[in-house]
Amino acid sequence: MKVLVIGSGGREHALVWKIRQSPRVSHVLCAPGNAGIGELADLVSIAPDDIAALARFARDEQVDLTVVGPELPLTMGIVDEFQRQDLRIFGPSRDGAQLEGSKAFTKDLLRRHEIPTGFFSTFTDADEAKRYISEVGPPIVVKADGLAAGKGVLICTEVKEAHQAVDEIMVSRLFGDAGQRVVIEEFLEGEEVSFIALTDGRTVVPLASSQDHKRAFDGDSGPNTGGMGAYSPAPAMTAELHDQVMRKIMQPVVDALRAAKIDYRGVLYAGLMMTEAGPKVLEFNSRFGDPECQPLMMRLRSDVVELMEACIDGRLDQVRVDWDPRAAACVVLAAAGYPGNYEKGKVIRGLDGLRQWTTGFVFHAGTAQRGGQVVTNGGRVLGVTALGTTVDDAVAEAYRGVAKIQWDGMHFRSDIGHRAIAHGS
Ligand code: AMP
Ligand code: GLY
């Protein structure tokens, strides 16, 4: 089989790494990829949002399966277009991807089906949004409706701050068209957990539990990022909570989408808050989490291609997913300044010393090849991922890998896994 992966982050490197291990796969391509992916797959220089060019390529090259990493092509309808051309592709349809692409769509769906989430209201008028904020009072969360690269969420502790947030999103259009509508939402307190599952539109197969670290700095301080590290399993996800999440959230959402005649086959990722009243939905993503995908692919023993095909063909009720009983942890190494402005083109040293690493792997995100050297080419640069008997051991092993890598301005969190370790894993 010939498989094309779309994207260029640590998530896509982990997917390419795992897809290559499938006995059914002879050839992996990646558009556009990065320096690390280039060692495992043929890189194709097409942007993830150039759907017409990707479809043409898949047809001309007789690609058997296309796997979409990031959300943007999904919300643009890449799956619908590939299906129109009879090309096999893994991911939800454009309507399905609204679950990530529109917070208002998702909140309405959750409310209609009485799926646990914070109270909220949606506005297209800034003054009405502000009146609602004054009525409800702080703390309150103001969200741009559309995709805003993870930045469109403002948690406000004062009315004035929340009013300003509405102006930034709706009037100044800080996040562009994503701010045509705002969702004003209850502030939920508790521990945050990622719940990632596969679905064929009917059956939901949960993947191993995982947890990421969204804030830039140690102690969960600083601005939100795409994720500075992750680990699996997440001890916060007890068997009882897992059961509750499946019964009250995951299965009902998939059933609700099917009832609405929305084709949702692919990854369903719920961001949940474990509140005193039980798990509640913060958001959904229609793709694998990054960096969560890195520890997950490292622990997955089953053939990932088999699982993806079962989603596409509606046979997920017949699959079994096997996991390495060991834990895995990923530490993200980022460029100085990330998640704000950062420089590119810094030479990365130490990668060769980790080539023979048997208990870990360095997944690349923002990297490029330049004159025989690997240089930084993005905000999140590498995901140093390792296995260990416990999360604690996996984290320690990942940091042993981190200690070998260096570039000018490299920064990372030194407390990845601290919550799991506090849970006594
Ligand atoms: P989202 O993109 O909706 O996941 O929001 C990004 C981050 O903001 C989440 O990972 C949470 O840490 C935080 N967040 C979002 N919504 C809420 C909420 N209703 N209450 C508390 N924190 C929230
Ligand atoms: N790590 C969070 C995300 O992928 O959205």
119-170 pLDDT, tens digit per residue, is: 998 899 888 889 999 998 889 999 888 887 767 888 999 989 889 888 888 8
Q: Is residue 274 located within the same domain as residue 311?
A: yes
Q: Is residue 36 located within the same domain as residue 86?
A: yes
Q: What is the CATH number of the domain that holds 277?
A: 3.30.470.20
Give the count of domains, the chain: 4
43-80 residue pLDDT tens: 999 999 999 999 999 999 999 999 999 999 999 999 99
The span from the CA of 58 to the CA of 65, in Å, is 9
249-276 residue pLDDT tens: 999 999 999 999 999 999 999 999 999 9
Q: Is residue 287 located within the same domain as residue 405?
A: no
Residue 293 lies in a domain: yes
In the sheet with 211-212, reading across from the earlier edge strand, the strands are 211-212, 229-232, 327-334, 380-388, 360-364
Q: Is residue 286 located within the same domain as residue 372?
A: no
Residue 288 binned pLDDT confidence (cut-offs 50, 70, 90): very high
Pair 339, 226: CB distance under 8 Å? yes
Residue 154 CA to ligand 1 centre (angstroms) = 8
Q: Is residue 268 located within the same domain as residue 337?
A: no
Residue 83 lies in a domain: yes
Residue 47 bridge partners (DSSP): none
Indicate if the pLDDT at residue 20 is higher than 70: yes
Q: What is the CATH number of the domain that holds 32?
A: 3.40.50.20
- 239 or 176, which is more confident: 239
Q: What is the CATH number of the domain that holds 410?
A: 3.90.600.10
* Average pLDDT of the residues in 316-322: 97
Residue 165 lies in a domain: yes
Domain with 414 in it: 327-422
Q: Tell which atom from ligand 2 comes closest to the C-alpha of 285.
A: 5
Q: Which pairing describes strands 65-68 and 140-144: parallel, antiparallel, or unpaired?
A: unpaired
- Among protein residues, the one with the nearest Cα to ligand 2's atom 5 is 289
Pair 208, 178: CB distance under 8 Å? no
Residue 109 lies in a domain: no
Q: Is residue 271 located within the same domain as residue 199?
A: yes
Q: Is residue 348 located within the same domain as residue 383?
A: yes
Residue 4 bridge partners (DSSP): 29, 66
Residue 184 bridge partners (DSSP): 121, 142
* Token couple for 191: 């521990």
Q: Is residue 309 located within the same domain as residue 378?
A: no
Residue 27 bridge partners (DSSP): 2
Contacts of 165 (CB under 8 A, 6+ apart): 142, 154, 156
Short-list 93, 111, 146, CA closest to 252: 111
Pair 329, 398: CB distance under 8 Å? yes
Residue 192 bridge partners (DSSP): 273
Pair 208, 289: CB distance under 8 Å? no
DSSP structural state of residue 126: H
Q: Which pairing describes strands 27-32 and 2-7: parallel, antiparallel, or unpaired?
A: parallel
Distances (CA, A) of 6 to 32, 97, 337, 394: 7, 16, 27, 29
Residue 17 lies in a domain: yes
Residue 323 binned pLDDT confidence (cut-offs 50, 70, 90): very high
Q: Is residue 167 located within the same domain as residue 238?
A: no
pLDDT at 424: 60
* Average pLDDT of the residues in 209-218: 93
Answer with the one of 273, 296, 318 that is the final residue of a domain. Answer: 318
Answer with the one of 289, 318, 347 that is the final residue of a domain. Answer: 318
DSSP string, 285-340: ESS--TTTHHHHHHHB-S-HHHHHHHHHHT-GGG----B-SSEEEEEEEE-TTTTS
Q: What is the pTM of this model?
A: 0.94
Residue 103 lies in a domain: no
Torsion 34-39-40-44 (CA) sign: positive
Instruction: Give phi and psi for 81, each to the nearest 5.
Output: -65, -45
Q: Is residue 310 located within the same domain as residue 398?
A: no
pLDDT at 425: 54
Q: Is residue 235 located within the same domain as residue 263?
A: yes
Q: What is the CATH number of the domain that holds 168?
A: 3.30.1490.20
DSSP structural state of residue 348: P
* Average pLDDT of the residues in 282-309: 97
Average pLDDT, the chain: 94
Testing ligand 1's pocket by substitution, the residue of 106, 175, 192, 283 carrying the most ligand atoms inside 8 A of its CB is: 283
Residue 369 lies in a domain: yes
Testing ligand 1's pocket by substitution, the residue of 103, 153, 186 carrying the most ligand atoms inside 8 A of its CB is: 153
Residue 99 lies in a domain: no
Q: Is residue 261 located within the same domain as residue 307?
A: yes
